[in-house]
């Protein structure tokens, strides 16, 4: 029998489709999620069936004995002539074997998958991630396969999605946090070691020292006592009687020049204190 119909082939195909489905959901591409999650469930269901017997994949239509003989190993058929059951039939057989329970939400996901494949929208699949994860977990448990290895970096997100002790809103928030963390980590794949730490440790906008104005015009800071005072008033060419000479500040009050500080949100100044960077 063709290697593409082996347990390993179906299982690996299900794993690839699952990773794509989780990425789609994280990127809020719910039509693609419906498509890939449906493919993943179908291939995983077929993996479970073929492990029991390849004959369980035979499509029983038109008394096609050639297909039965092919899956039984008694007849070779060209690969383009081989047909297997669809997702709905695969799930129905797993339920008859008591490997999967009946689940109308899972049936809805498969319907959405077929709808997306025929150009219909799949936006409603947004809320079916727990349904998808639950079906996969049930089949993996029957097969004795590692859940951690199958979900890979999505394992913690799946556990949270299946945690029925948490409210739906809480599960959604935790799921989004894990999805965002995964998307962030993906940006550094292939970059030199330490690149991620440099970005994480860099000051964000509104933090650090970089663009806050020095002081209000006409005022100076006494660097010895930390007090603000009036600039000296001088007379001279081009200088009015009541106009402060900014250059006098540096001659009369020498000291280190302050690097401008960034604008901080309300309340942040109280937390950071006066920590201007001097040079």
Per-residue confidence (pLDDT) for residue 81, from 0 to 100 = 83
Residue 178 lies in a domain: no
- 163 close to 137: Cβ distance less than 8 angstroms: no
Residue 146's domain comprises: 3-155
Per-residue confidence (pLDDT) for residue 226, from 0 to 100 = 44
Residue 188 lies in a domain: no
Query: Which H or E run contains 97?
Result: none
Alpha carbon separation from 255 to 50, 198, 222, 226, 277 (Å, rounded): 81, 33, 9, 12, 13
One domain, residues 234 and 103 = no
pLDDT tens, residue by residue, 126-136? 889 999 999 99
Q: Where a domain ends, among 122, 155, 188?
A: 155
Range with the largest mean pLDDT of 170-174, 216-220, 275-279: 170-174
Query: Which H or E run contains 16?
Result: helix 7-26
Range with the largest mean pLDDT of 67-76, 109-118, 199-208: 67-76
- 41 close to 135: Cβ distance less than 8 angstroms: yes
Residue 29 lies in a domain: yes
Residue 145 lies in a domain: yes
Q: How confident is the model at residue 73 (pLDDT cuts 50, 70, 90)?
A: confident
Residue 234 lies in a domain: yes
Share above pLDDT 90 across residues of the chain, in percent, rounded to a whole number: 37
Q: How confident is the model at residue 191 (pLDDT cuts 50, 70, 90)?
A: confident
Half-sphere exposure of 239 (CA within 13 A, CB side): 12
Structure pTM? 0.63
Cβ neighbours, 10 Å, residue 127:
13
Residue 92 lies in a domain: yes
Residue 18 lies in a domain: yes
One domain, residues 108 and 239 = no
Residue with tokens 């050639």: 66
pLDDT tens, residue by residue, 104-127? 999 999 999 988 655 555 678 888
Query: Which H or E run contains 238?
Result: none
One domain, residues 113 and 234 = no
One domain, residues 120 and 21 = yes
Distance CA 224, CA 190 (A): 50
Cβ neighbours of residue 73 closer than 8 Å, sequence gap 6 or more = 1, 54
Per-residue confidence (pLDDT) for residue 252, from 0 to 100 = 46
Residue 71 lies in a domain: yes
Per-residue confidence (pLDDT) for residue 168, from 0 to 100 = 66
One domain, residues 95 and 9 = yes
Q: Where a domain ends, among 127, 155, 183?
A: 155
How many structural domains is the chain composed of? 2
One domain, residues 126 and 213 = no
Q: Where a domain ends, among 113, 129, 155?
A: 155
Rounded mean pLDDT, 182-210: 65
């Amino acid at each position: 029998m063709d290697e593409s119909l082996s347990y390993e082939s179906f299982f690996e195909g299900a794993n690839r489709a699952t990773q794509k489905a989780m990425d789609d959901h994280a990127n809020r591409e719910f039509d693609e999620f419906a498509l890939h999650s449906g493919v993943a469930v179908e291939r995983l269901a077929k993996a479970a069936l073929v492990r029991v017997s390849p004959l369980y994949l035979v499509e029983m239509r038109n008394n096609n004995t050639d297909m039965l003989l092919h899956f039984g190993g008694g007849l070779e058929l060209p690969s383009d002539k081989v047909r297997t059951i669809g997702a709905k039939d695969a799930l129905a057989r797993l339920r008859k074997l008591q490997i999967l329970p009946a689940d109308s939400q899972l049936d809805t996901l498969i319907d959405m998958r077929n709808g997306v494949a025929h150009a219909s929208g799949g936006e409603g699949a947004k809320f079916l991630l727990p349904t998808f994860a639950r079906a996969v977990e049930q089949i993996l448990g029957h097969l004795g396969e590692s859940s951690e290895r199958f979900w890979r970096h999505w394992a913690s997100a799946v556990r949270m999605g299946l945690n029925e002790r948490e409210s739906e809103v809480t599960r959604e928030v935790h799921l989004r946090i894990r999805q965002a963390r995964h998307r962030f980590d993906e940006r550094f794949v292939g970059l030199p070691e330490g690149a991620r730490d440099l970005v994480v440790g860099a000051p964000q906008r509104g933090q650090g020292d970089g663009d806050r104005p020095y002081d209000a015009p006409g005022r100076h800071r006494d660097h010895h006592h930390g007090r603000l005072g009036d600039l000296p008033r001088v007379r001279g060419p081009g200088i009015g009687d009541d106009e402060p000479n900014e250059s006098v500040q540096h001659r009369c009050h020498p000291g280190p020049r302050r690097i401008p500080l960034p604008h901080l949100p309300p309340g942040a100044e109280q937390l950071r204190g006066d920590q201007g960077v001097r040079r």
